[in-house]
Structure 1
Amino acid sequence: MVTQQIIILILFLAAAGYMGWRLWKAFDSRNSGGCAKGCGCAADKNASAKA
């Protein structure tokens, strides 16, 4: 019984950590590109508008 609770706790903490990381990445503007996804792959908006 205790082993099952430990496994569930580990899974819950991993899921909560993953959701927190995704939330942090969504609002972190340091690596954001020109698009809203924040992956950093898009070029500067001014440079792409001139092309």
Structure 2
Amino acid sequence: MDFQAIIVLILFLAAAGYISWRTWKAFDRRNSGGCAKGCGCASDKAPVMKV
């Protein structure tokens, strides 16, 4: 492969990885909070027990 094809392949894989990560975060319910931003600010998370 020539140099330009390698750069295009790396950029394509980075973009595909980013889109996959954003899709995963959109459907991941573990860290979703009560607000629409998904920042995790809601109190419905599992409580952490301190000993």
1:32 and 1:11 map into 2 onto residues whose CA distance is: 29
Q: Summarize deviations over 1:19-51 as a string: whole Å, max 9, x none.
A: 10000000000011001222212x337xxxxxx
The equivalent residue for 1:11 is 11
Question: Greater helix percent: which structure?
Answer: 1
Q: How high is the sequence identity, in percent, across the aligned residues? A: 77
Consecutive unaligned residues of structure 1, counting only runs of 5 or more, are 46-51
For residues 1-51 of structure 1, the aligned pairs below 5 Å read 2-41=2-41, 43-44=42-43
State the TM-score, normalizing by the size of structure 2: 0.74
2:37 and 2:27 map into 1 onto residues whose CA distance is: 10
Letter of the aligned partner of 1:13 in structure 2? L
Across the aligned residues of Structure 1 and Structure 2, the Cα RMSD in angstroms comes to 1.8
Number of matched residues?
A: 44
State the TM-score, normalizing by the size of structure 1: 0.74
